[in-house]
Amino acid sequence: MNTKNLNRMADYIETVLQRNFNMRIFRTGQRTAHECGSVGCVIGHCTILDERPLPMNRFDNIDFDAWSFDFTGLKPNSDEWDYLFSSDWETIDNTPTGAAKRIRYFLKNGLPRNSYKQILGSAPLSYLKNKTA
């Protein structure tokens, strides 16, 4: 896990306006640039933090799974990755502030035992109960 980059993501995502943020929507603008430039999720917006060439897929779009694994050290679709970046958060907490709080909570406390219940909305959000998150 790359703690430094996850902290950078938490700091950056808080600067994204709510109208440009959605956990389920992927870029609609330039799909090869570091800057999102449209509505997007945490991963889509945070590619701007990486100055290295972005990995591309066979369609000449950013390979977001490869990028997020390399940048965060978390395997896409792992429990940890899902807790931080799952598109299912759209219906529970679809805010850049919530995303930043999840990242900070995870870095301080690790993965909550009931992370999937939180993502599905059937358990209280641990990162909102923690005053230091």
The confidence band for 131, taking pLDDT boundaries of 50, 70 and 90, is low
The structure tokens 């389920």 sit at 24
What type of residue sits at position 44? G
Q: Is the dihedral of CA 53, 46, 9, 86 positive or negative?
A: negative
- pLDDT tens-digit profile of 16-26? 999 999 999 87
Whether the model clears a pTM of 0.75, i.e. scores above it, the answer is yes
What are the domain boundaries of the chain? 3-129
Q: What is the pLDDT of residues 52-105, one digit of tens each?
A: 999 999 988 899 999 999 999 999 999 999 999 999 999 999 999 999 999 999
* Other residues' Cβ atoms within 10 Å of the Cβ of residue 64: 21
What does the pLDDT look like over 73-83, one tens digit per residue?
Answer: 999 999 999 99
